[in-house]
Amino acid sequence: KGELNRYESIELARPVLVSNRKALLEKWLKEDKLECSEELGDIVQPHDATLALSIYLRANAPAKVVVCFAQSGQFDKIVLYCKKVGYNADWNTLLMQVARLDGDKACEFALSLVKEDPPLISADQVVGIFASLNLVQQTTRFLLDALKDNKEGDAHLQTKLLEMNLINAPQVADAILGNNMFSHFDRPYIAQLAEKAGLYQRALELYDNLDDIKRVAVHTEVLNGEWLVNYFGNLSVDDSLAVIRQMLEHNAAQNLQIVVQVAIKYSELLGPQKIIEIFEDCRCNEGLYYYLGSVVNVSQDPAVVFKYIQAALSTGQTKEVERIVRENNYYDAEK
């Protein structure tokens, strides 16, 4: 007998599939005894997706062909097929279907779509679809690849990428910021989120406002000491003095060591008299003693030497006082 028509093919296929005789159906298809149609593909689909795909291809049912390719992860074939048959797929709906089934496959698919020239879907549309399904990891993977050229026009997506990770996966956000991959995101907003997430170093790297810097810099219990001391090299003289004052006022016991290191390293830049004034205002004789102890032997300022003698006496360092009086030529004996 020759080829059966569409309806005969469907009616014959039903009992064959129910009795699990799929091989017989494949034989008839190879022998062109059945008329391929979208409906026949729909009946076969639950039993054998590959066989259904071949039916859809022969039936010229592009919408179903595209879904089959997507569900089986053959993304490279989708765009080629659409171009070949002149089919304009609904990429948003298709990506949503794939994302509901498999987030990782959806990520690969999305990247293939945005890399077409021109792109078949926008990065914003991808992020919207993934976000609606709460696919944080897949959105992150997608954006890290899609934004790798660090374009100014993608500033809002850079912000979105950092925002979602600072809220959901701070360690990932920390790594992204640490790699300096992006430079166009909303710095003040991301700095606030970094601070809330406890990523104080990243917050300080991003903040420009002095009040923000003063608020964050006091957390020396979690900040890397060496990094924080070097950070002061980026601040103006006035800002540096304001921050070390804040650190001593906030918690002198906790922050003293870092403040002394900063004072010693930037002594000439900040000015000994201003540093001395801050230690005295905060009644921090111990800090003043340690700071001046590192500069007194190279200073030719009698006032510095005198302040060091005072600090040494107030902290009970009498032998140090005797040494300075004996060896230093710049102190004012009358004082």
Tokens for 71, please give them.
Answer: 């569900």
Q: Among candidates 146, 142, 147, 191, which has minimal Cα distance to 166?
A: 191
Report, as an integer, the average pLDDT of 6-11. Answer: 89
Cα end-to-end span (Å), the chain: 124
- The sign one gets for the Cα dihedral 263, 269, 275, 278 is negative
Residue type, 193: L
pLDDT for the residue numbered 315: 77
Which of 74-78, 93-97, 326-330 shows the lowest per-residue confidence on average (mean pLDDT)? Answer: 326-330
Instruction: Between 1 and 310, name the one with better pLDDT.
Output: 310
Beta carbons of 249 and 279 less than 8 angstroms apart: no
Tokens for 166, please give them.
Answer: 């600072």
The rounded distance, in Å, linking the Cα atoms of 111 and 143 is 9
Cα separations (Å) of 72 from 50, 94, 134? 9, 13, 23
Q: Among candidates 181, 197, 266, 193, which has minimal Cα distance to 228?
A: 266
pLDDT for the residue numbered 1: 43
pTM: 0.81
Neighbouring residues of 78: CB distance < 8 A, sequence distance ≥ 6: 66, 69, 70, 89, 109, 112
Tokens for 67, please give them.
Answer: 């879904």
pLDDT for the residue numbered 314: 75
Cα separations (Å) of 143 from 124, 156, 222, 241, 318? 10, 11, 30, 40, 64
User: What does the CA dihedral 78, 39, 92, 79 come to, rounded to 10 degrees?
Assistant: 10
Helices 136-146 and 103-114 cross at an angle (nearest 10°) of 20
pLDDT reading at 334 higher than 60: no
**For the chain, how big is the Rg over CA atoms in Å?**
35
SS3 state at 87: coil
* 287-302: burial string, b at 16+ Cβ within 10 Å, e else: bbbbbbbebbeebeee
Cα separations (Å) of 290 from 28, 306, 321? 94, 14, 14
Over residues 10-58, the pLDDT tens digits come to: 999 999 999 989 899 999 999 989 999 999 999 999 999 999 999 999 9
pLDDT reading at 247 higher than 90: yes
Cα separations (Å) of 20 from 48, 242, 318? 11, 81, 100
**3-state DSSP percent of the chain in helix, strand and coil, to 5:** 75, 0, 25
CA diameter of the chain = 127
